Amino acid sequence: MLAHLAWKSLCRPAHRRLVEAMAHPRKAQQKVLTGLLHKNAASHFGKGHALHPQMSAREFQQAVPTFTYEDLRPLIERAADGEPNVLTTESVLMFETSSGSTSAAKLIPYTRSLRAEFQAAIRAWMYDLYATHPAMGRGRHYWSITPLHREKRKTNGGIPIGFDDDAEYLGRLEQWLSARLFAVPASVGKMPDMDSCLAATRDYLRKARDLRFISVWSPSFLDLLLDGFDESPTQLWPDLAVVSCWGDAASRAGFAALQKRLPGVKLQAKGLLATEGVMTIPIESAGGCVPCLNSHFYEFLPANSADDATEALLCDELEEGSEYSMVMTTGGGFWRYRIGDRVRCVRLVGETPVLEFMGKEDGVSDLKGEKLNPYFVGRSLDALRLHHDLRSAFLMVAPSDDGSSYILIAGASPPSCEHLASELDALLQENPHYRYCRTLGQLEPIRVVPVPSDAAARYLQRCVALGQRAGDVKPASLRREGGWEAWMTS
């Protein structure tokens, strides 16, 4: 199809630049940093930190501390009120709201530079897919579309909030091409509720026998979609070639289950992308996900290090097997931003690291002072899966409905609920704060809540009820809200 050839040709330069950057990552990253400094040294933030385009990466690290969203919130609110030149010298085109599963929604400023940085990463990824899986170019694609559940809003300064639809992450030409290649039109996202959206999506997909590529965020969302068909995926789409979805950290079990459901289809684990920026994309020749070296400026804080901004390492300084907390500087004005994502350096391709997402570091649950975070809980659940051969099982920890303990929601028939609970309790007691609360009796022992069927679907439905878009719902190892036991067993 000519539209596929046009899209592939459009994406080729971005892929070529990324491959060139992977050969010299430090040089590429310094170029990105210099560009950001040149554009924004005259902003309020730039002047306040004496930024200038001649800065080296080390000088930049010494001049600017790392920031969380809460650190940046006062500046973001000033920009939202319409004040110019706060974090960048570029105008803020719009604000997007985050859809994170561990915190309230946050306003993220979008500039032309930030949009271009996203597009550079998406184009490099798409070309790599086309080049390594040519069957993608012989049929239609499905990119998940879910109801937005929001009215058009503006900030106090009159700046729009939210994209009209997810395709706006793409460039204008890609949007035009995608309208001709996508099996499900963007209008489905305007439907009033999730059920009608899913029904319409299934109607369109049932007619798309030539479907070659599916891109969704959560594997559990695709499971929910497939559950509504009487036919098997093979009957519906005999030539389906590639499915892209989350596959790391809390999504690992759902990814494994989807592999069993789609034999003969290439499942590719997505890179690490957030509303604030894009961190990694999968590159087949690298055997995993690599930093988007031409998009943002990346730094890496060694896991469990003291919060000392000068300790941050650059892309070419990582060690195989080590874990890091990612820090990024973007064209949207997020300077040395600690996004709260932990990654592991799987291997090095030359001097470029291949990174695996290990889990979120924020979203701490603290009923009685125990301070459990999703990353630590996720590692404990991984140990349970390995020990009890529960590789594809739904497992999630949440507070009990009365707040007296934690519960383990198990979407499988566990070998022994009592044994599973005691084993998880022991694993969590490696956290001294949790062990202290258990020793004092502030927290009761963990209980297992078995949910033998449709656990992932029930989880998705409650997340939607809590205000998230179905397509954005991330599998979680730990949720902080109560009410999960009643919901999952009703």
Instruction: State yes or no: pLDDT of 194 exceeds 90.
Output: no
Pairing mode, strands 406-411 and 447-450: parallel
What DSSP letter does each residue of 175-190 carry, written as one string? HHHHHHHBSS-GGGGG
Answer yes or no: is pLDDT of 471 > 80.
Answer: no
Q: Is residue 40 pLDDT above 80, yes or no?
A: yes
What is the model's pLDDT at position 418? 75
The residue among 166 and 129 whose pLDDT is bigger is 129
pLDDT one-digit tens code per residue, 302-319: 986 655 555 899 999 999
CB 349 within 8 A of CB 60: no
**Tens of pLDDT along 111-160?**
999 999 999 999 999 999 999 999 999 999 999 866 555 567 899 999 99
Q: How far apart are CA 264 and CA 231, in angstroms?
A: 17
pLDDT score, position 27: 98
Record the pTM.
0.84
For the cut 60, the answer to whether the pLDDT of residue 58 exceeds it is yes
Whether pLDDT at 170 is above 80: no
pLDDT tens digit sequence for 254-305: 899 899 999 999 999 999 998 899 999 999 999 999 999 999 999 999 986 6
Is residue 103 over pLDDT 60?
no
Burial class (CB in 10 A: 0-12, 13-18, 19+), 210: middle
Indicate the average pLDDT of the chain. Answer: 90
CA 283 – CA 285 distance, rounded (Å): 6
pLDDT score recorded for residue 101? 42
Instruction: Say which DSSP state 473 is in.
Output: P
Please say if the pLDDT value at position 168 is more than 70: no
Q: Indicate if the pLDDT at residue 436 is higher than 60.
A: yes
The pair of structure tokens assigned to 207 is 């007619």
